[in-house]
Amino acid sequence: ISAVAQKDSRSPLQALPLEELRQFADVFGAIKGNYVESVEDKKLINEAISGMLSGLDPHSAFLDAKAYKEMQLNTSGQFGGIGIEIGIEDGFIKVIAPIEDTPAERAGIRAADLIVKIGERPAKGISTTEAVELMRGKPGTPVTITISRKGEPTPRVFTLERAVIKVQSVRSKMVEPGFAYARITQFQEQTLPSLAKHLDQLASQGPLKGLVLDLRNDPGGLLQGALGVSAAFLPPRVLVTSTDGRNADARRRYNADPNDYARHGDDPIAQIPAVYKSVPMVVLVNAGSASASEIVAGALQDHKRATIIGTQTFGKGSVQTILPLSSTTAIKLTTARYYTPSGRSIQAKGITPDILVDEYPDGDLSHLRVREADLKGHLDDAGKASAGGITQENNTSPNQSERKNSADAPGADRGKSLTAEQINERLRNRKPVVFGSPEDWQLQQAMNHLKGRPVAKPAGTQTAAARTDRIVD
């Protein structure tokens, strides 16, 4: 979700196409009079609005009461639930990790537990979205989940009382003395204050020699979060991103300035040690890095503040503005495109890493992942330098301005020569990457770069060597 602001959806009424509205009324009447079952007027109108918006591009949408509330929960970073991160394994809902100081952690639920029932609902075959809906609810209400744990012959049953869960969008640790690691999973209202606390704690553990900022699989979030995170590492008041759209209020420039990123007059960056303005820095990205995370990566790359390592990002460079229709409904409407400080379009292109590093040492299968350019109805890049940006010379990777979609992304064809059998065999033998773990291949290469050691070349490609001339000292 990327929102510049919430604003009034009412605008001067345009001339309505009467012939098309008559046709709409005819279809509405035909459904009401002839459909096999009775349909409520409200449902028909809402579905018509939804179709009108979804036909524009993949990110414009009608937010009914449920979807609007869910969006608000996601961006606020808190909700009523039991406090676990989940995924899917062999058709079951798997606990990735319990969140610290939540009902799930206090009850003894562990990482790798399999949820076999939620209440009376069998959990095998349901989606993570359905599982989340079943486990979330009003704080203080109970929910029963049945757990299967490896090594135990019988399932365990837990009855938990839901509580207000605050999602931690920032995690950090010292990889080794002098080298810090911070991961942002999503840009929320509390991301910048949380990052400031983590960076302060890391700096207190001794002199810093390098920092890895991990934005892999970060789908984005609030623009203010991206502006603040960028400002934490950039000089004051430099350009972070600009937007361009049809209306005057969609054409804006956003700087590393508290007026753009701070809320309620507080500036969390004030508590971040000054060392983070200059410490050698790597930003890790992949095909799951989208929207706000691409804004951060593009800003730090253009200002030569960090070396971007990983694979081509998702390419979601459009602005969605939330326009409330009522107290419970809204529309999410694409109103502009994002550009990096040098004027590069992010839309349908993404950010090209300075150093291409696959997620696994045996090669890349990123062509299997869907990117923005693969989505039906996506906007084109409209990539032209915006006025007033920093000088574009030497701020893009070779041929980057000519990239048109994810198929043209550096290394996008790597892995395509493999047969389906070879791909399946490789996938069977691979364990999911645990970001930040000792086995994290891309993190290992980021550490090599920070230490001045050679970075492993991507398997089966020579393109990375041609791009290493943009390494930031």
Cα–Cα distance measured from residue 434 to residue 432, given in angstroms and rounded to the nearest whole number:
6
Q: What are the DSSP calls for 421-448, one per residue? A: HHHHHHHHTPPPP-TTSTT-HHHHHHHH
Q: Which amino acid is at 312?
A: Q
Q: How far apart are CA 9 and CA 174, in angstroms?
A: 46
CA distance 85 to 438: 21
- In the set 302, 354, 364, 440, the catalytic residue is 302
CA dihedral 291, 294, 295, 298 (to 10 degrees): -160
Q: With 0-12 CB in 10 A as exposed, 13-18 as middle and 19+ as buried, what is 150?
A: exposed
Closest to 247 in 3D by CA, of 18, 441, 471, 4: 4
**Residue 327 a catalytic site member:** no
Residue 378: which region, alpha, beta or left (left: phi > 0; alpha: psi -120 to 50)? beta
The reply to whether 316 belongs to the active site is: yes
Q: Determine the residue type at 54.
A: S
Please give the Cα distance from 296 to 282 (Å, whole number).
12
CB-side neighbour CA atoms (13 Å) of 437: 8
Look at the chain and count its residues: 473
**Considering 166, 316, 332, 349, which one is annotated as catalytic?**
316
Query: What are the residues whose beta carbons fall under 8 Å from the beta carbon of 370, sequence distance 6 or more?
Result: none
Strand 78-81, strand 163-166: pairing: antiparallel
101 included as an active-site residue? no
Please spell the DSSP secondary structure of 297-346, one letter per residue.
Answer: HHHHHHTT-SEEEES------EEEEEEESSSS-EEEEEEEEEE-TT--B-
Q: Say if CB 312 and CB 366 are below 8 A apart.
A: yes
Q: In a 10 Å sphere around its CB, with 0-12 CB exposed, 13-18 middle and 19+ buried, how is residue 306 labelled?
A: buried
DSSP string, 229-240: HHHHHS-TT-EE
- Check 169, 172, 291, 318 and give the catalytic one: 291
The residues that are catalytic are: 291, 302, 316
